[in-house]
Amino acid sequence: MLNRTIVKTIIYLPNITVLKVLNSVHPADFKGYDTALIRERFLADGLVQADQINLVYTHHDRMILGIANPVNHDLALGTYPILRAGYFLERRELGIINVGGEGEISADGKVHTLGKLDCLYLGKGTKGVSFKAKGAANPPVFYLVSAPAHVNYPTTLMTHAAAVKVTLGDAATANHRTINKYIHAQGIKSCQLVMGLTILHSGSVWNTMPAHVHDRRMEAYFYFDLPQDQRVFHFMGEGTETRHIVMGNHEAVISPPWSIHSGAGTASYSFIWGMGGENQDYTDMDPIALTDIR
């Protein structure tokens, strides 16, 4: 039987040029960076734009991150010239977490509905990917993290409720928070992506302290649910040479393998962490004692 389904929706193909390419940085060079250079080399901002997919290509484990924000149009994930690939996921995998209103993601003809904080994994070889809002009044904000992949793992949807939860910290040290793991060794299977999100409890403002590094993996933090006029002071650099970068809502920062990644907000907030690299062992972290941090 011929498939005579007529596709009625006009799918809008957004800009297929990446916003920015971030090259790798040597920790010895980083010591001399001023504010502007830190922001140029590590910050991904201006990602959320109505009816656009805005991506940043990094040479930190070749991770791509960005936002798809369909409002009035359905957005197709095109193939970017920088990939020299027939389609976006020809040699890549993709993790997506929605931090906005309800939306839909179509993957090779199958439609997945994502509420706020739900996660969809798309494996290598998924050809047709598009994003859609359920309503223009409260559109989805899909945060995308993609890494190179060599085999296909099945498309998997995981709701926020189904994510593995670990509550850490204490209100007394202003770091009471719940970690939600989606893509990891005991969760959604992937080639190298590890992904989840952390929600600070009301009144707690510190994440990931005492801080750690993991030389086997790079990481990116994407801050959200931060009031527009509030900021997170995100700390980075080698444990004995820290610098800070001031982050607003819906901004992401790269953490190279040699860098700590930890922040303190002027209000409570949430953030998505995404990692790629040598292993997928979430517990492979080398903590740095607070008394050793400089």
Ligand X SMILES: O=C[C@H](O)[C@@H](O)CC(=O)C(=O)O
Please report, as ranges, the residues that interact with ligand X according to CB under 6 A.
177, 179, 198, 207-208, 214, 219, 261, 273, 285
CB of 209 to Zn ion, least distance (A): 12
**Residue 44 to residue 159: CA distance in whole angstroms:** 26
String marking each residue 190-229 x if it binds Zn ion according to CB under 5 A: -----------------------------x----------
CB of 285 to Zn ion, least distance (A): 6
Residues ≥6 apart with Cβ < 8 Å to 172: none
198 binds, among Zn ion, ligand X, none (CB under 5 to 8 A by kind): ligand X
**Residue 181 to residue 168: CA distance in whole angstroms:** 13
Residue 214, marked binder: yes
CB of 214 to Zn ion, least distance (A): 6
φ/ψ (deg, to 5) at 282: -55, -35
**Residue 55 to residue 152: CA distance in whole angstroms:** 22
Q: Give me 75's structure tokens.
A: 């957005």
Query: Which residue, judged by CB position, is nearest to Zn ion in the bound state?
Result: 219
**Residue 222 to residue 242: CA distance in whole angstroms:** 19
CB of 40 to ligand X, least distance (A): 23
φ/ψ (deg, to 5) at 95: -110, 135
250 binds, among ligand X, Zn ion, none (CB under 5 to 8 A by kind): none
Contact residues: Zn ion, CB under 5 A: 219
Q: Return binding residues.
A: 212, 214, 219, 261
